[in-house]
Amino acid sequence: MIISVPKTKAMHIHKTTAVSETTENEVVELKLPFECPECKRSFPTKRGMNIHLKRWCDGTESNRSRKGSLADKAVQLSKRKIAEQALPHVQIEGEQIDNVHSFVYLGSKTQCDGDSMADVKHRMVIAQSAFSDLYKLWEDCRLPLSMKLKMYSTAVCSTFTHACKSWDFTEAVRKTVNGFNSRCLNVITKEGYRVTATAPKFNLVLAIRKRRIRYLGHILRMDEDRLVRRTLLAYVCSKTHGIPAGSLMDDEFCKNRSVAELSALATDRRRWKSLISKMK
């Protein structure tokens, strides 16, 4: 195997690095594209600037906190990337390899702190691009709604859910997925956001849950000495911490069922498939 040194990066695995709070000068250094015409405060999106103009701007320099905003998150991320460069470096053939905060491999984004939300947002950006490319289709009144929903599921959702089986499908991730689905269905169905969020014509969260449970059944049918099966069981069967939040077995489908019961169910493929189809 030949290693391309220029393309090779190193990533240290550790908890999220604590960095200092964002200052307004650090936001200015980002040179954000949208500037308030009244107070000259800059913003990463036009929507954020418009909200500022309507709600907070009084024409003078604002002291309103940036904490939690997109600008704050961008500054925090840049600080964490700089912090990675201060960690020890790997040498290959006398060349120093750059440390990175995250990297994309086979379409999936991995972050040094193991946060699944990084990959969720990465895939969501790609799916949003695919959705926007089909905007004329969503607006075409000649096509039936059933065809549009099928296209949405096939061309957009399949892009979003790439590698979803490896996500920590926590409540925060579910809300992010449901929010994306709600916004897309609002365009396709013309229904209100509340309706598309609570009673969607296509439930993306449920579709992901079903895909994850199908994958769980595949693992449970493996021989007991298979590394994937052993790793999963070691991860979810910890007597100290219990089933980790968002893991494959942290689902309503697995509640009140032991690993032995799930394994026995999984051996009957037809019944397993039938149970998945009844999930709500």
Structure tokens at 247: 């893991």
Residue 38 confidence (pLDDT): 81
Instruction: Tell me: pLDDT of 60 over 70.
Output: no
Closest residue by Cα to residue 14 from 100, 79, 119, 107: 100
Residue 62 confidence (pLDDT): 61
Q: What is the mean pLDDT of the chain?
A: 89
Residue 255 confidence (pLDDT): 87
pLDDT in tens, 196-227: 999 999 999 999 999 999 999 999 999 999 99
Place of tokens 């994937």: 228
Q: What is the mean pLDDT of residues 49-63?
A: 75
Residue 193 confidence (pLDDT): 93
Structure tokens at 56: 């907070």
Cβ(276)–Cβ(215) below 8 Å: no
pLDDT in tens, 231-265: 888 887 765 667 888 888 899 999 888 888 999 99
pLDDT in tens, 142-198: 999 999 999 999 999 999 999 999 999 999 999 999 999 999 999 999 999 999 999
- Of the two residues 105 and 119, the one the predictor is more confident about is 119
Instruction: Tell me: pLDDT of 6 over 90.
Output: no
Residue 25 confidence (pLDDT): 84
